[in-house]
Structure 1
Amino acid sequence: MFCYQCEQTDRTQSQPGCASAKGNCGKDATTADLQDLLVYAVKGIGQYCGLARRLGTPDREADRFILYALFTTLTNVNFNASRFVVLLREAAETRDRVKAACEAQATSQGVAFEAPTGPAQWQPADSMAGLLEQAKQVGIQAGVADVGADIVGLRALVIYGLKGVAAYSHHACMLGYESDEVYAGVEAALTFLASDPADADALLGQSLELGRVNLKVMELLDAANTGRFGEQTPTKVRVSPVAGKAILVSGHDFGDLLALLEQTEGTGVQIYTHGEMLPAHAYPTLKRYTHLAGNYGGAWQDQHGDFANFPGPILMTSNCIIEPQPQYRQRIFTTGPVGWPGVRHLEHHDFGVVVQAARALPGFAETAPEETITVGFGRHAVLGVADKVIDAVKAGQINHFFLIGGCDGAAPGRNYYTDFATQAPNDTVVMTLGCNKYRFNRHEFGDIGGIPRLLDVGQCNDAYSAIRIAMALASAFDCGVNDLPLSLVISWFEQKAAAVLLTLLALGIRNIRLGPTLPAFLTPNVLGLLVEQFGIQPIGNASDDIAASLSRKAA
């Protein structure tokens, strides 16, 4: 195996990357190699889906498979090697079905049919050993001896950005929101990658195009969340437990949470959110369920302790699972793209077994003293008081905005984000989205003329809200986003963050601070290119970075 797609990458070697029997995320070599092969197979589906679209017969079923398959290869999503063997067979079947439709459509139109080459021609081996042998030829570093590390790094930027686009698109799709524009963009990116591109400018251009596609995806996901669950409203969320039977829901998928709330209504079982599910409490459709009792624990990397101490079953949706520990291994369940060997996987929103487990387990014996935090400052809530915000800026009450967004993690250096948020001057506003909020969301920030200094915009899935807020402020002040008293400080971890970064770059947003470490696939030359064109800069010392941000805007 060789993998360097996330911040957990092994950096102890001269060539950063996880290359032993097991990655730092817990992914074994077999699973890692099968994931690489699945990405290769999906490129072939993309080639044929793009051809089908040009022939006037787009195939949404195949497009949905592409999203799901790519999502399973994200960091901390699916660790089950046997699942990837099944997906590889399904990939070949899906590709062949689209191919047959293309051939039939070309014949009916009287045009010549020219089959794509490369990944479109791949056929799965008959055995695990054969599949692993195929995987050796198509890993993330394929062709490095011929094109060099810079080109392979730029290819990785496209691949990992595409994985993030697929994950966000899958979230929207599960809520019933799809877009031919998005599917066409995904197909085009896969077809581009299938050609083994070796031109740096073309690769960077495709990365930015993916950023533009992801903007559409984020808009679609925003519409899905608000369309299904209503607009976020500022809401106090209990973060201390109440007595009674309990289920903990982690991951990102609000559709799964809604299904569980419906199935547990009236049962006396309380539902708690964990990690990136925290913003669920701000949506009217979800919070109307009185047994949505509160949020328990912290960010995804705290799950070993959080899950072990939780006195009920755990439902893991979408991404962010880490190896289940013996203390809770028999009471954790997975659904959607997420999976772990030996952990029971549930399909079709049928969570009856989880409810049964909750009834059998002790639950919380007593109610703890009430503690709360406030969430729900999505774009509708913030823009609803935009006039007050603008007046506060014009009056000099608000001097600067800091957007501290992105993923949390266990790597050293993430205390930077705590220090940055808590050291931000009292005349500044901190907006946050993503699970890095857990670094500082219990700190008392106070307010500025009634405007809270800490505005929790939501999940990483809510990046569109932050973008719309920034654009609205720029419009109000008749300037560009880069001219606002606004600094972006992003903690990256995995491929969703890569997709959001590409969107910000595609929008022309400059001088983003990125950390705590820079992606290992960005070679010095590629990083230099991003610094030159977009002003990307690594984080440094929190107090120094705050001072630099304020002085740059003051100048």
Structure 2
Amino acid sequence: MENNMFCFQCEQTLGGKGCTRHGICGKSPEVAGLQDLLIHMLRGVGFYGQKALEKGRKIDQDTNKFVIDAIFSTLTNVNFDPERFVQYIEKAAEIKAYMKELAGEIDGVIPAAAEYTPPMTREEMLKEAKKFGVMADTSLNEDIRSLRELLTYGMKGMGAYGHHAHILGRMDDTVSHFFYKGLAATIDNSLSVDDLVKLNMEFGQVNFKCMELLDRANTETYGHPVPTEVLITKKKGPFIVVSGHDLKDLKQLLEQTEGKGINIYTHGEMLPTHAYPELKKYPHLVGNFGGAWQDQQKEFDGLPGAILMTTNCLQKPRDSYKDRIFTSSIVGFPDTAHIKEIDGIKDFSPIIEKALELGGWQEDEEDQKILVGFGHNTVLGVADKVIDAVKSGAIRHFFLIGGCDGAKPGRNYYTEFAEKAPEDTIILTLACGKFRFNKKEFGTIGELPRLLDMGQCNDAYSAIKVAVALSEAFECSVNELPLSLILSWYEQKAVCILLTLLSLGIKNIHLGPSLPAFVSPNVLQVLVDNFNITPISNVEADMSAILEAAATA
């Protein structure tokens, strides 16, 4: 295959325009092509699925789960294994045939994507994939392409949240069915720019429902997070580092390692799991190792312990730890050990054996701890104190500084913003963007810590719920609250959260470190005009403008 591709779905895309020879994320042209072909197949599935739903036909949950998992697999830094994508494409062909039969006779035009049948071999699939890349149709209107991709990337993010909810036994037809509607819309030439803008806003509402579903799944299964101190230094002995976002994987690993003398550390977006009562009760869940996803190659280099990647964000493993990293669920990398699920159970024996073999760290480090666990249940539990502090002037402003972290320069902006936030302001944070500053000391306002870690990226739901509750208490809109959103984005889960915020009418978001390459100038102008989305500039100017505007409001 010729060494070419086109991908601009993440923030670090080459030159801010698109990766054309090899993904900055490590994605090969082969994997990029197979992902393009899989998305093309899923669009055909969406067409027939939407027709079936319009006729009142019922789609089984296994089919819904496949669509959700398949689109999730194409999200940045999830799966780099070409053979797994071949299997997804083959399965998508089966699902599409089933959907076509379920939909019955179709009136009107049937899009080419719905009629398409993929070839049987990987080599032929790769040749065909060139026809279905993002830029393959050079005649497509730029703004239509932009809005279709915006919707597609949003659905990739919602696929992650839908996947996590489903494995805990929670599914919602509104969420599941939107994937068919949204995928079908990306091949519907009758839809105008206005139609697609409205559909993206509708998607944002559905994703809010999906995040609510996942929040309920997590809290009903593991309890509401509570403020918890987490060790961030090393303990002597064998250990396993767990990264990603999957609470169920962590729970099963904790059960299987109990009494075996193995310490379990979280990494990246798994840090908030220490606050869940049903997880923190295990004494061998000892702490958190390292920082955000983009530092893993350096942090895992020669690590004397085993590593479990439960979801994104995976980077290409270095040879120094490739023999001790294991993937699970949707995650994959060629020639890397993968733990399969059988009847709802994953056997983590290979990881456990590797951890014992490696022996772990040889001595303890001096204890250092950070505080997590400020989900909506905890914050709203002290809402009266927060409201009183705002009314008395003790709290002047709230800054939500969070989102995806990444490797490109410019992200020190978020560290500096947190450091320079006045002492009478509260910093809310979530997702892996917090690792830019979450080990720093910010003090307290009264009994309330100035830095409140609200959890994983999907816990943007918590932040929204708190904002809505405060707006009701102060009898104003969310946009009138002394609250500013300073968001960093990297991949497609950030896209779906952004669309959710916009669909809820939330304005004045400061977004960075760069604007999405897939948003055309005209579409960007619509977002600026309607929602006052503002690119970050420099901390002093942005901070001053925010606080001056708040003072005159």
Matched, 1:219 2:223: no
**Cα deviations across residues 188-223 of structure 1 (Å, max 9, x unaligned)?**
111111214652111111111110110000100100
Distance 1:390 1:309, change over 3 A: farther
Q: Identity over the aligned pairs, expressed in percent?
A: 51
Alpha carbons 1:300, 1:320 under 8 Å: kept:
yes
Partner of 1:236: 229
- Partner of 1:311: helix, strand, or coil? coil
**Cα deviations across residues 403-458 of structure 1 (Å, max 9, x unaligned)?**
01200011000000000011000000000000011100011100101111000000
- Partner of 1:490: helix, strand, or coil? strand
Partner of 2:123: 129
**Cα deviations across residues 320-379 of structure 1 (Å, max 9, x unaligned)?**
000100110110000011111111111112211101111111211111110000000000
- Partner of 1:146: helix, strand, or coil? coil
Deviates more, 1:189-198 or 1:459-468: 189-198
Alpha carbons 1:78, 1:340 under 8 Å: kept:
yes
Deviates more, 1:389-398 or 1:35-44: 35-44
Task: Give me the TM-score of the superposition, normalised by structure 1.
Answer: 0.96
Distance 1:24 1:387, change over 3 A: same
**Cα deviations across residues 210-261 of structure 1 (Å, max 9, x unaligned)?**
1011000010010011011100000000001111110000011111101100
Distance 1:113 1:514 in 2: 43
Distance 2:523 2:225 in 1: 39
Partner of 2:239: 246
Shift of 1:309: 4.9
Alpha carbons 1:282, 1:375 under 8 Å: kept:
yes
Q: Superposition pairs for residues 224-373 of structure 1, below 5 Å?
A: 224-348=217-341, 349-373=346-370
Q: Which letter does structure 1 place at the counterpart of 2:63?
A: A
Matched, 1:541 2:538: yes
Matched, 1:521 2:518: yes
**Cα deviations across residues 116-157 of structure 1 (Å, max 9, x unaligned)?**
4432211111233321232222211233x3233222112111
Shift of 1:11: 1.0
Alpha carbons 2:201, 2:502 under 8 Å: kept:
yes
Matched, 1:179 2:172: yes
Q: Which of residues 382, 387, 391 in structure 2 aligns to 1:385?
A: 382
Shift of 1:10: 0.6
Shift of 1:102: 3.8
Shift of 1:89: 0.4
Distance 1:114 1:533, change over 3 A: closer
Alpha carbons 2:57, 2:103 under 8 Å: kept:
no
Matched, 1:11 2:15: yes
Matched, 1:29 2:66: no
Partner of 2:452: 455
**Cα deviations across residues 485-512 of structure 1 (Å, max 9, x unaligned)?**
0000110000000000000000000010
Partner of 1:430: 427
Distance 1:196 1:81, change over 3 A: farther
Deviates more, 1:468-477 or 1:518-527: 518-527
**Cα deviations across residues 259-286 of structure 1 (Å, max 9, x unaligned)?**
1001111111110000000000000000
Distance 1:369 1:305 in 2: 22
Partner of 1:2: 6
Distance 1:230 1:133 in 2: 49
Distance 2:15 2:366 in 1: 43
Shift of 1:460: 0.3
Alpha carbons 2:35, 2:85 under 8 Å: kept:
yes
Alpha carbons 2:170, 2:217 under 8 Å: kept:
yes
Alpha carbons 2:185, 2:191 under 8 Å: kept:
no
Distance 2:46 2:396 in 1: 48
Shift of 1:60: 1.7
Distance 1:134 1:542 in 2: 47
Alpha carbons 1:406, 1:497 under 8 Å: kept:
yes
Distance 1:3 1:114 in 2: 32
Partner of 1:87: 88
**Cα deviations across residues 291-319 of structure 1 (Å, max 9, x unaligned)?**
10100000001101211253111000111
Deviates more, 1:118-127 or 1:366-375: 118-127
Q: Which letter does structure 2 place at the counterpart of 1:347?
A: K
Distance 1:520 1:117 in 2: 27
- Partner of 1:397: helix, strand, or coil? coil
Q: Which letter does structure 2 place at the counterpart of 1:168?
A: Y
Q: Which letter does structure 2 place at the counterpart of 1:125?
A: P
Q: Which of residues 400, 408, 411 in structure 2 aligns to 1:411?
A: 408
Q: Which letter does structure 2 place at the counterpart of 1:429?
A: I
Q: Which letter does structure 2 place at the counterpart of 1:486?
A: L
Partner of 2:132: 138
Alpha carbons 2:10, 2:76 under 8 Å: kept:
yes
- Partner of 2:433: helix, strand, or coil? helix
Distance 1:242 1:276 in 2: 21
Distance 1:309 1:546 in 2: 41
Q: Gapped runs of 5+ residues in structure 1?
A: 107-111
- Partner of 2:316: helix, strand, or coil? coil
Q: Which letter does structure 1 place at the counterpart of 2:11?
A: E
Distance 1:77 1:197 in 2: 33
Q: Which letter does structure 1 place at the counterpart of 2:49?
A: C
Shift of 1:115: 9.1
Matched, 1:120 2:114: yes
Alpha carbons 1:49, 1:63 under 8 Å: kept:
no
Partner of 2:72: 71
Distance 1:312 1:146 in 2: 52
Distance 1:345 1:448, change over 3 A: same
Distance 2:290 2:193 in 1: 44
Distance 1:267 1:197, change over 3 A: farther
Give the paired residue count.
543
Alpha carbons 1:68, 1:167 under 8 Å: kept:
yes
Distance 1:416 1:209 in 2: 32
Alpha carbons 2:269, 2:292 under 8 Å: kept:
yes
Partner of 2:392: 395
Distance 1:136 1:483 in 2: 48
Q: Which letter does structure 2 place at the counterpart of 1:94?
A: I
Distance 1:317 1:241 in 2: 22
- Partner of 1:370: helix, strand, or coil? coil
Deviates more, 1:505-514 or 1:146-155: 146-155
- Partner of 2:76: helix, strand, or coil? coil
Distance 2:56 2:194 in 1: 29
Distance 2:102 2:70 in 1: 21
Shift of 1:49: 2.2
Partner of 2:52: 52
Q: Which letter does structure 2 place at the counterpart of 1:126?
A: M
Distance 2:358 2:74 in 1: 33
Distance 1:261 1:196, change over 3 A: farther
Q: Which letter does structure 1 place at the counterpart of 2:135?
A: Q
- Partner of 2:333: helix, strand, or coil? coil
Alpha carbons 2:57, 2:102 under 8 Å: kept:
no
Partner of 1:109: none
